[in-house]
Structure 1
Amino acid sequence: MTWSFLTPESHLLVTMSVVVLLATLALVVPTIVALRRRTSTDALAWADQVRRDPAAAWAVDRVLRAVDASCAAANVLFPGAVRITIGTTVRIDVASPTIAPPAPWTATPDGRTWSAPTWALQAVPLAGGAPVEFATVVSFGTDRDDTVLVDLRRVGGILALRGEPAAREALLVRLVEQLQTAPWAVGTTVLGVGTGTRTGTAVSVRDAIAAVTADATPGLLVVSRVPSGEDGRELARLLERPGGRWACIAVAPHPLARWTIEARRDGTHVSDVLGTLQWAGLGRSVPVDPAAGADTTQRDDVPAEA
């Protein structure tokens, strides 16, 4: 057929072509956008290629040692830290309210938070190595330009992870690697129950409870799920003892957990106690083979949520 503006058939052909083109665009464009958006927001696809900056660990170590040194110089007993936020200012949510901190710290009126400019802490003379006080401190991620750390033993019980298994695994491995490599965690024991060897020495439930009971060294216990029955209740009770040196992370939510954190594929985790933080910026502390690609499948030892 010869196309012409004067024939109705030509008009129909043009109309049909335009309709087909618009329908194709309506299908293809959203698909491309969705794929690109998924690639950019799915942190599991790229986060393992981020290496942990040695300078970041050095900076945290410097702050922790300055906390210890400032208290020692003023003969002040450090009350312990639940959360430490490091940015241009260092803020410590202390375990016990203290309204008379040593210089250069200032306290809020209720004594629950200490703060000091980072530059002032850099001027604090240091003595000795990393204090044992911070042997279970790990970075949980970033909030804008600030790094947020938590002393796991100060949680005062079990910390549970929830969310998609691959995201929980990604957050867990970053927390464990810090205690295995950080200068302030030298001597911290890491044990795993039902989690394989990637989370420290594999032990039985009873051996794990015995280690927490003895409390001989600072330690982290990682369990695939909170033990059932009396074992779970005993473990929770032991972790809630004042002054205990052990912490516990469960890779599945449980009613006995003191804190529950939801890990997400987009590189964030969300909780009532910490708000929303970026875990994807926590670089891996051990080499990862780039050729292996991102493993976003569920591991057999990462339990699904109940």
Structure 2
Amino acid sequence: MSDRESVWNTAPTSAPAQRADRYVSGSNAHPAKMLPAIAAHAIRTYTKPGELVLDPMCGIGTTLVEAIRLHRQALGVEYESRWARIARANVAHNIRHLEQGSGRVVCGDARQLTQFINADLHGKVALVVTSPPYGRSAHGRVHCTSETGERGVAKTDYRYGRDPHNLAHVSTDQLLDGFSKILTQCRAVLRPGGTVVVTTRPWRTHGELIDLPSAVLATGQAAGLVPTERCVALLAGIRDGRLIARPSFFQLKNVRDARRQGIPLHLVQHEDVLIFTRPEKPSTAPRRLCTNRQPFRPGRCDYRETGHGTRR
């Protein structure tokens, strides 16, 4: 058993407060930004100063920024060129401001991760921090609109991009297959005993709960990684022993709509955090998922949605 904390107090302040002055213009448009304190907690817990931290789907570079601020080396891969440019700008902004650190962002498909990382770094990565993407129903920003002559709201910034090959736009089965390939690639660049931290959450489709955390757990094992911990990272603050939720407009709307339909949805309060390690000793090739596996489908389960969040 680990003596580390299983509940990460990662939202003592709001997300905008955590990001203040650390990110360039345009960063807020990303639909799924990881809470900086989640990345920082993982980096402090599983690495030492000077070690190499990798995010294979780095978005605007939250993991990289926190790594640099904590005196680690940072490396990121991002599929969408728009976000890769912004991630590079955020890395450069923090190095310039702090006058310390190093970081690199590569634009490419993390399913071919080893092609983008110099061979001399293979087996040198101490920590991977990442998360599978979610669909647009989980993301987006809202603003008031009166274009139709009536007061209302409009949703914006809910797309990662328009490339249909982006894992954010594929079916759940394809998402898991792609994420399995990414974790297998991560295993190849991790040092023996290195750590992978994956943040994820379930969601509902037509009222049925998709238990993505359990599916990701199996995917990590199939990639040859060993699960060692399962934690939660709070997206709500704590005050006088009570959780203080900070839901978005659409989280509130989705919960209210679901409850009117009799679906027991709850406000987002935390993300699931799955921690894996690469075995210290050489092992056989990563295990393959069963070839006669049925397509992943929404299923009923008792997973209580006390809160799950977004990423990057």
For the criterion TM > 0.5, the same-fold answer is no
TM-score, with structure 1 as normaliser: 0.28
Pair member with larger Rg: 1
Q: Which has the higher helix share?
A: 1
TM-score, with structure 2 as normaliser: 0.28
